[in-house]
Every structure is written in C-alpha cells, then in structure tokens.
Amino acid sequence: MPSPLLEINRLTKRFGGVVALSEVTVTVEAHEIVGLIGPNGAGKTTLFNCITGLLRPEEGTIAFGRESREPLVGLAAHEIVQCGIARTFQNIRLFAHLTVLEHVLVGTYIRTHAGLLSAVLRRREARHEERWALDRAMGLVEEFGLSRRAHEPAVSLPFGLQRRVELARAMALEPELLLLDEPAAGLNPTEKQDLLGVIQRLRTHGLTIVLIDHDMRFVMPVSDRVIVLDYGRVIAAGSSSAVQNDPRVIEAYLGKPSTQQ
C-alpha cells in the first residue's frame, strides 16, 4: 500500500459565519486522477485555494509529498509550488501583454536561479540558463500545440488555446500534483475532447491530477476516483459507478434536473 501523495485531514474554512469547508478529509494517491465534483458553492475551489496557499484554513492539516511529508498550511503560495503542486484557475488567469512563450517562460522561473546582477552582466551561467529556459519553454509550447501562436499575446488566443497556455505554464513548474479547476468550462465539445486527450497524456508522464468540474460526463471517464462535495462536506467518494449510484449524491447533485440534462 503506497502512502498517499496528498493527505487532507479535517480541513475547515469559514468566511465569517459561512462554513465553506467543514472537516474535509481527502487523500490522493500518487499517479491517480481524482475528480472533485459537487454543485455550485459546494467548496471545490475553496479546497483548491486552501491547498495552494491562497486561503488559510481555520482548522485541519494538509500534508504533501511521498517521502518527506510537508505540512502545507501556513506556507506561501510560491512555497507550495516549490513543493510540487501546480494549478490552473476556473476563470483563466493569464498575464495580459505577455506572449504565449513568455507565459511558459514565467513558469520556468522556479527552475532557474540567476540573480539580477548576473543577468545584467550577461554572465555565462545566466546566458546558459536563459538558453535552457527558452528551449524548455519552446518544448512545452510545441507539446501543447501552441507553436504557431508562440509570439502572440496569450489573451488574444481563442478560449480553448488560452486554457492550454495555462496548462503549459503549470507544466513548466514540473509539478507532481496538478490541480485543474474546471478546465472544461467554456470549451466547446471538440475542445473538451482535446482536453481529455491532454489529461490522459499528462497521466502517462506519471502526474497526479485532481480535477474539478460539475459536468459529470466529463469527469467520470477520466477519473480513477470521484469525490463529491456538498455544502463543504465530503458526501461520497469512490469509483465513478459507485458514486453515481449513491443516493446522497443523487439527492444533492444528480437529482437536480438543471444539471442532469
């Protein structure tokens, strides 16, 4: 039995009187793809924000890593990235004015170390590093099918490609765990199929992925395991079929005609 890669224990997050997450306990094994589903406002994004250090939970612990169990609560967002967790955002967050290539280059920041002085003096190590970063970024740009648009401002790209820019930027961080917040939102059916292909390919690289979506038909086929949140609580977890037939899930989520059609 391998020890889990991510272990969240009794995590609670409140916003004033609203309990967004209530004693959430979740584990994610290495190389797993986990679907995190639940109706709007269930606390899915809040959970991601707690894991990535954008929000600080009131109670509970988050531990990450295969050998050394790093406690994540209290670390800054950039320190958590250095532990090996990368994410994308529900509302794509790109850097206006920066080109596609520059976005991916920003992702190589934590893998490079040249100081400002080295860069200004164009020292040999700074030039080598810059060359390495450029090669690496170009490789990722190509891998995500963005070569033709590499020098265009990322925000000028179609929505589906913008998602890919965000993914390429996240992959430049060389994460062990990738958190995808509604990656399929706003995509048309073809783009969704492309995205599924990309996710499957990332898994073959040995990546662990947690995927938020409320489109169950999108999450179920790619996920090894599904976790269902409702009102900040885990109401079910298990294989797609088991969760689909869980009466609590049907009541909380699948039973709603608006999300079933």
Partner 1 sequence: MRRWGAALLIVACGLPLITRNAYHIDVLTGAGLYALLALGLNVVVGFTGLLHLGYAAFFAIGAYTYALLNLHAGVPFWLGLLPSAATAGLCGVLLGIPVMRVRGDYLAIVTLGFGEIVRILFTNLESWTGGPNGLLGIAHPTIWIPGQGVWGFGVRSVPYYYLVVALTALTAAVCVRMNRSRVGRAWAAIREDEVAAACAGIDTVQLKLLAQGCGAAIGGVAGAVFAAKQGTITPDSFDFILSVMVLAMVVLGGLGRVSGAIIGALVLGVLPEVLRGVEQFRMLLFGVVMISMMRLCPQGIMGALRARGLFRSPSSTVDAVPAA
Which of residues 10, 66, 127, 201 is near partner 1 by CB under 8 A?
Answer: 127
Instruction: For the chain, give the secondary structure using H, E and C.
Output: CCCCCEEEEEEEEEECCEEEEEEEEEEECCCCEEEEECCCCCCHHHHHHHHCCCCCCCEEEEEECCCCCEECCCCCHHHHHHHCEEECCCCCCCCCCCEHHHHHHHHCHHHCCCCHHHHHHCCHHHHHHHHHHHHHHHHHHHHCCCHHHCCCEHHHCCHHHHHHHHHHHHHHCCCCEEEEECCCCCCCHHHHHHHHHHHHHHHHCCCEEEEECCCHHHHHHHCCEEEEEECCEEEEEECHHHHHCCHHHHHHHHCCHHHHC
Nearer to partner 1, 130 or 215 (CB): 130
Minimum distance from CB of 166 to partner 1 (Å)?
Answer: 9
x/- binding map, residues 79-98, to partner 1, per CB under 8 A? --xx---xx-x---xxxxxx
Nearer to partner 1, 110 or 157 (CB): 110
Nearer to partner 1, 56 or 248 (CB): 56
Q: Pick the piece of the chain touching partner 1 (CB under 8 A) from 26-34, 107-115, 187-195, 218-226.
A: 107-115
Q: Pick the piece of the chain touching partner 1 (CB under 8 A) from 106-114, 194-202, 213-221, 227-235.
A: 106-114
Please give the residues from 135 up to 154 whose contact with partner 1 meets the rule CB under 8 A: 151
Check residue 116 for interaction with partner 1 (CB under 8 A): yes
Please give the residues from 11 up to 40 whose contact with partner 1 meets the rule CB under 8 A: none
Please give the residues from 39 up to 68 whose contact with partner 1 meets the rule CB under 8 A: 52-54
User: Which residues of the chain form contacts with partner 1 (CB under 8 A)?
Assistant: 52-54, 76-78, 81-82, 86-87, 89, 93-99, 101-102, 105-110, 112, 114-116, 119-120, 122, 126-127, 129-131, 133-134, 151, 169-170, 173
